[in-house]
């Protein structure tokens, strides 16, 4: 697997390269955003990319936002690099930067200096090499491609199977034909919003116990109460930290696994 490392500092790139010597990853280095973009457009199957925040005439957030744009994604799709996880490597890991990073599509943050083995472990985890909840599946209903990439990267760490749709109608059709252990849905979507989807899951499909977790930038108290009344299991306000998302999902998935074991 290839890991692309973008950093203006040769020392920083060397530290990352040395950290990954214990793994089977092939490290590809870029010393500028332009070089990184050229590599992504011409080298197939980059598994993951790390980027510094300071990149000269732009910062890492601008670079990630550009990679997540529809124009760039179309350019990178032929070489299968349009949806790769992006990890920010920084010496200044602040709440504000995390919110900014997750909003543009970063999958993870790691702070310099890291403990030996920590970066390699985080990369392995981001690529879904864990099996904590192997065999379980989640349906993600979200009309933002950027948010789906972020969620997919988070969920990969749990070892779950991920199914993705971009609207409520497609989600409902999928659920009518397939079993999943949890539904993670945006509140506002095209064609069928998350609240209407939840009602149909409970009433039309009769899935009374299937966990349905909402994502929304709306934190209005009345809206949240209404969601729980119509069958929501949990609620997360955007933007959220990956640790928060994973912690919430683990609780509900572990409960589902326990309940399934009890029923056997």
Is the same domain home to 73 and 169? no
* Per-position pLDDT tens, the chain of length 264: 899 999 999 999 999 998 888 777 899 999 999 999 999 999 999 999 999 999 998 999 999 999 989 899 999 999 999 988 888 998 887 777 877 887 787 877 888 888 888 888 778 777 765 555 778 899 999 988 878 877 887 777 777 889 999 999 999 999 999 999 999 999 998 889 999 999 999 999 999 999 999 998 888 888 889 999 989 999 998 877 777 788 788 888 888 877 776 665
Domain boundary among 89, 105, 126: 126
Do 98 and 186 lie in one domain? The reply is: no
Helix or strand (DSSP H, E) at 172: helix 168-177
Is 154 in the same domain as 257? yes
Do residues 111 and 148 share a domain?
Answer: no
Specify if 48 maps to a domain: yes
CATH of residue 147's domain is 3.40.50.2300
Pair (117, 211) in one structural domain:
no
Q: Which residue has the tokens 């090499």?
A: 129
Please check whether residue 196 lies inside any domain of the structure: yes
Residues 15, 79 within the same domain: yes
The number of distinct structural domains making up the chain is 2
Are 169 and 214 found together in one domain? yes
* Pair 49, 4: CB distance under 8 Å: yes
Q: In what order do the strands lie in the sheet with 46-52?
A: 26-30, 2-6, 46-52, 86-90, 108-111
Please indicate, yes or no, if residue 251 is contained in any of the structural domains.
Answer: yes
**pLDDT the model gives residue 153:** 75
- Give the three-state DSSP class for 185: strand
Q: Is residue 131 part of a domain?
A: no
DSSP annotation string for 210-231: S-EEEEES---HHHHHHHHHTT
- Which pLDDT does position 25 carry in this prediction? 85
pLDDT (0 to 100) of residue 112:
84
pTM of the model: 0.61
- Rounding to the nearest 10 degrees, give the CA dihedral for residues 67, 72, 75, 76: 10
CA angle 121, 254, 183 (to 5 degrees): 95
Residue 248 covered by a domain: yes
Which of 73, 64, 28 minimizes the C-alpha distance to 46? Answer: 28
- Listed residue (58, 35, 243) closest to 49, CA to CA: 35
Residues forming a β-bridge with 87? 50, 108
| pLDDT at residue number 152 | 82
Q: What residues form DSSP beta bridges with 50?
A: 5, 87
What pLDDT is stored for residue 107 in this prediction? 76
Same domain, 162 and 59: no
Q: Tokens 């506002």 sit at which residue?
A: 188
SS3 for 54? strand
Examine the domain organization and report whether 83 and 170 are in the same domain: no
- Is there a domain that residue 132 lies in? no
End residue of a domain, out of 67, 100, 126: 126
Q: Residue 117 domain-assigned?
A: yes
Longest CA–CA span in the chain (Å) reads: 60
Do 87 and 176 fall into the same domain?
A: no
pLDDT of res. 33: 95
pLDDT of residue 262: 63
Compute φ and ψ for 60, nearest 5 degrees: -60, -30
One domain for residues 192 and 241: yes
Looking at the structure, tell me whether residues 11 and 77 fall in a common domain. Answer: yes
Sheet arrangement for strand 182-186: 161-165, 137-141, 182-186, 212-216, 234-237
Question: Of 103, 126, 149, which residue constitutes the final position of a domain?
Answer: 126
Q: Rounded to whole angstroms, how far apart are CA atoms 9 and 173?
A: 50
What Rg do the C-alpha atoms of the chain give, in angstroms? 19
Task: Show the domain range for 66.
Answer: 2-126
């Amino acid at each position: 697997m290839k890991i692309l490392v973008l950093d203006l500092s040769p020392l920083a790139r060397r530290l990352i390269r040395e950290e990954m010597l214990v793994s089977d990853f092939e490290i590809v280095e870029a010393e500028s955003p332009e070089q990184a973009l050229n590599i992504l457009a011409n080298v197939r199957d980059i598994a993951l990319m790390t980027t510094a925040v300071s990149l000269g005439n732009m910062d890492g957030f601008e670079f990630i936002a550009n990679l997540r744009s529809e124009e760039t994604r179309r350019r990178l799709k032929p070489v299968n690099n349009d949806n790769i996880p992006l990890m920010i490597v920084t010496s200044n890991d602040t709440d504000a930067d995390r919110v900014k990073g997750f909003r543009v599509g970063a999958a993870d943050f790691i702070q310099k200096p890291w403990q030996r083995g920590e970066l390699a472990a985080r990369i392995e985890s981001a690529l879904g090499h864990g099996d904590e909840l192997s065999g379980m599946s989640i349906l993600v209903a979200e009309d933002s491609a950027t948010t789906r990439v972020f969620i997919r990267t988070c969920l990969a760490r749990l070892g779950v199977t991920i199914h993705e749709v971009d609207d409520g109608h497609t989600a409902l059709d999928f659920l009518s034909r397939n079993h999943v252990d949890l539904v993670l849905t945006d509140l506002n979507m095209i064609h069928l919003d998350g609240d209407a989807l939840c009602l149909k899951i409970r009433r039309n499909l009769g899935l009374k116990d299937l966990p349905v977790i909402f994502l929304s930038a709306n934190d209005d108290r009345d809206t949240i109460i209404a969601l729980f009344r119509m069958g929501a299991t949990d609620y997360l306000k955007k933007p959220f930290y990956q640790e928060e998302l994973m912690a919430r999902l683990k609780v509900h998935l572990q409960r589902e696994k326990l309940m399934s074991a009890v029923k056997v």
